[in-house]
Amino acid sequence: MGMTMRASVRSTPDGGEIRLSLAVADDAVVLTVSDNGIGIAAQALAEIFEPFALDTQALGFNGVGRGIGLAVVRALV
């Protein structure tokens, strides 16, 4: 969750909103992180969870990122 939250914080402008919700479904716990930040460009969706994949839309917003955060999150989940 830490990296997903960090991505939300980096991509949400000052005064933006980040929400966490936790639910139990059958024998699983579902944690959802949502924000009203810049989002992920449609053309980046196919490979955004691959190591070193960068969304140029996000880089234009804050200029930060190495492209490993979402790949690590996917591996942990």
Domain boundaries, the chain: 2-76
Average pLDDT, integer, range 3-7: 57
Q: Does residue 19 sit in helix, strand or coil? A: strand
Q: Which CATH number fits domain 2-76: 3.30.230.30, 3.30.565.10, 3.40.50.720, 3.90.1150.10?
A: 3.30.565.10
pLDDT tens string 31-68: 888 888 777 778 877 787 788 777 766 655 555 667 67
Task: Judge residue 1's burial from the number of C-beta atoms within 10 Å of its C-beta, 0-12 exposed, 13-18 middle, 19 or more buried.
Answer: exposed
* Cα 18 to Cα 14, 32, 63, distances in angstroms: 11, 10, 20
pLDDT > 80? residue 29: yes
User: If you search the block for the tokens 């955060």, which residue do you land on?
Assistant: 69
Q: What is the DSSP letter of 41?
A: -
Average predicted confidence (pLDDT) for the chain: 75
